[in-house]
């Protein structure tokens, strides 16, 4: 299992702790995200933000991505969406946590779940298909997964 969830959940132990202690992942909006003072309006007028908190991944830094580990060149890494960088790291962690060491050339599947306005985001970036067993998301851009 591998994960990146709000509330500092980056592994099954911290996720379990969050659940057992009935905590939530809401944190104040990090200053690194945007100038909250420039957008905050408690009345929620158009073009403003009404909330001071959100479900952010916290300490996750997509810029700290180890491109060399995934055989991605410096020129390519700037074109890789930060969400894909995080996904590659989480997939690698899930393989390691499952005890898989040498996966190159093997037929191994990793099941990925996501949330947060999936249909709106997916309609822009992915083709959605339903094959009677569930929805499948296929990226509209090439996937740099080296496995």
Burial pattern 78-94, b for ≥16 Cβ within 10 A else e, equals eebeeebbbbbbbbbbb
Residue 87 scores a pLDDT above 80 = yes
The answer to whether position 65 is within a domain reads no
- pTM of model > 0.75: no
* More confident position, 47 or 146: 47
Q: What is the mean pLDDT of residues 107-130?
A: 60
| Same domain, residue pair 44 and 90 | no
DSSP letter string over the chain? ----BTTTB-SHHHHHHHHHTT----EEPPTTT--HHHHB-TT--TT-B--SEE---TT--GGG--GGGGT--HHHHTTS-HHHHHHHHHHHHHHHHTT----TTS---------SSHHHHHHHHEEEEE-SS-EEEEESS------
pLDDT at 116: 57
Residue 25 scores a pLDDT above 50 = yes
The answer to whether position 140 is within a domain reads yes
The answer to whether position 41 is within a domain reads yes
Residue 52 scores a pLDDT above 70 = yes
Residue 6 scores a pLDDT above 90 = no
| Same domain, residue pair 41 and 87 | no
Among 79-83, 86-90, 117-121, the range scoring the smallest mean pLDDT is 117-121
Domains held by the chain: number: 2
* More confident position, 52 or 60: 52
Angle, alpha carbons 108-112-115 (nearest 5°): 175
Domain around 131: 83-147
The answer to whether position 72 is within a domain reads no
The answer to whether position 70 is within a domain reads no
Q: What percent of the chain has pLDDT over 90?
A: 5
Q: What percent of the chain has pLDDT over 70?
A: 76
pLDDT at 16: 93
């Amino acid at each position: 299992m591998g994960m990146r969830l709000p509330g500092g959940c980056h592994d099954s132990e911290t996720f379990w702790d969050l659940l057992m202690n009935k905590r939530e992942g809401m944190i104040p909006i990090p200053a690194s995200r945007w100038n909250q003072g420039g957008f905050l309006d408690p009345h929620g007028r158009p073009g403003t933000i009404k909330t001071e908190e959100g479900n952010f991944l916290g300490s996750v830094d997509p810029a700290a991505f180890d491109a060399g580990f995934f055989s991605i060149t410096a020129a390519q890494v700037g074109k890789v969406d930060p969400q894909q960088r995080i996904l590659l790291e989480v997939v690698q962690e899930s393989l390691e946590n499952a005890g898989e060491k040498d996966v190159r050339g093997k037929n191994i599947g990793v099941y990925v779940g996501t949330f947060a306005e999936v249909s709106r985001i997916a309609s822009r970036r992915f083709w959605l298909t339903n094959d009677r067993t569930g929805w499948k998301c296929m990226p509209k851009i090439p996937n740099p997964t080296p496995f």
